[in-house]
Amino acid sequence: MTRLRALVPLLRPTRFSTSATAPTASTASPSNGTVAPDKEPFSIYIHWPYCSSKCTYCNFNKYVDPNVDNERMERSLVTELKSELAYWGLDQGNRPIRSIYFGELGRDHTPSTALRSLLDARAVWPGKVSMDLIMGHTGQTLEDWEKELRFTMDIVDDHLSLYHLTVEPGTALHKDVVQGKTTLPDSDLSTDMYEATIQLTREAGFEHYEVSNFARNKAYSMHNSGHWFGIDYLGLGPGAHGRMSHPQTRQKFRTFNVRDPAGWMHECEEQGTGQGCDGVVY
């Protein structure tokens, strides 16, 4: 951390003031080139690092802690938000917020509570509710997956994210697979599942607009598509990554926060942000 922080003065853009030269419309725009850079929308990603239990396949920066100091966490998030908005020149309100993503998704629900939440969400935001499913888990057959997918397409709005389970090193699932305690669908079955996914979603009117994402009525994901198109996003919370443009030069900076929640809160309290380094320019 000390080493990373030492890099910050070298790599971060210098603090800017409102009297600094404003970027011009001719400066490269990461979105479509038609919006002035100082008016470009940006997204916010907020990472909450705690889950009530850890899923065996999860390699996110997540912790199970029965004694979470929620108030301190929330205070730190607000501190970091204010600090980063000011730092990147976003506190003037010139650039609209495109989307806000809460990296929170604690999966201690049952199928029926998940269904109830989906229906509640659809009542509040009709046409705006997406659902994530994972295919290729232990013991799953092609028929199981097709049945689950058909059921989901009957109840979901116009967007689906359908991911294939990946076994990440360091997870409990990886350990079980290596030790032969669990087996997953082989590559043939996995391929069949993906091909069935493409066919069934097409029959149901979904457009396969990204490897794992499907939409009807052009209901593309605002947040994810922002990532794919290179639009700026502010990463807040332990371990969060971000990508921001310097307000004058438009040079892109990749940001990444301290992963450990206690360390991140300490940094927020001490220096207003838990950003360990934002040194990768591209």
> Applying CB under 6 A, which residues contact ligand SF4?
51, 54-55, 58, 60, 62, 105-107
Smaller CB distance to ligand SF4: residue 83 or 140? 140
Residue ranges with strand state E in 104-230: 130-135, 159-164, 207-210, 213-215
Which CB, 54 or 147, lies closer to ligand SF4?
54
Cβ-contact 95, 42 below 8 angstroms: yes
Between helices 142-155 and 111-124, what is the axis angle to 10°?
Answer: 30
The two beta strands, 207-210 and 213-215, are: antiparallel
Cβ of residue 241: shortest distance to ligand SF4, in angstroms?
15
Least distance to ligand SF4, CB of residue 115, Å: 17
> In terms of CB distance, is 216 or 259 closer to ligand SF4?
259
- CB 274, CB 267: distance < 8 Å: yes
Q: How far is CA 266 from CA 80, 256, 269, in A?
A: 11, 16, 5
The phi and psi torsions of 218 (rounded to 5 degrees) equal 60, 30
Helix or strand (DSSP H, E) at 280: strand 275-281
Max CA separation in the chain (angstroms): 63
Minimum distance of ligand SF4 from residue 134's CB (angstroms): 9
Which residue(s) pair with 97 in the sheet?
A: 42
C-beta closer to ligand SF4: residue 163 or 228: 163
Contacts 24+ apart (CB under 8 A), 119-122: 119/155, 122/157
SS3 265: helix
Which is closer to ligand SF4, CB of 51 or CB of 73?
A: 51
By beta-carbon proximity to ligand SF4, the closer residue of 93 and 169 is 169
Q: Cα–Cα distance between 210 and 237 in angstroms, integer?
A: 27
CB of residue 55 to ligand SF4, shortest distance in Å = 3
**What's the min distance (Å) between Cβ of 1 and ligand SF4?**
24
Give least dist CB 264 to ligand SF4, A.
17
Min CB(50)–ligand SF4 separation in Å? 8
| Cβ proximity to ligand SF4, 42 vs 45, nearer residue | 45
Classify 242 as helix, strand or coil. strand
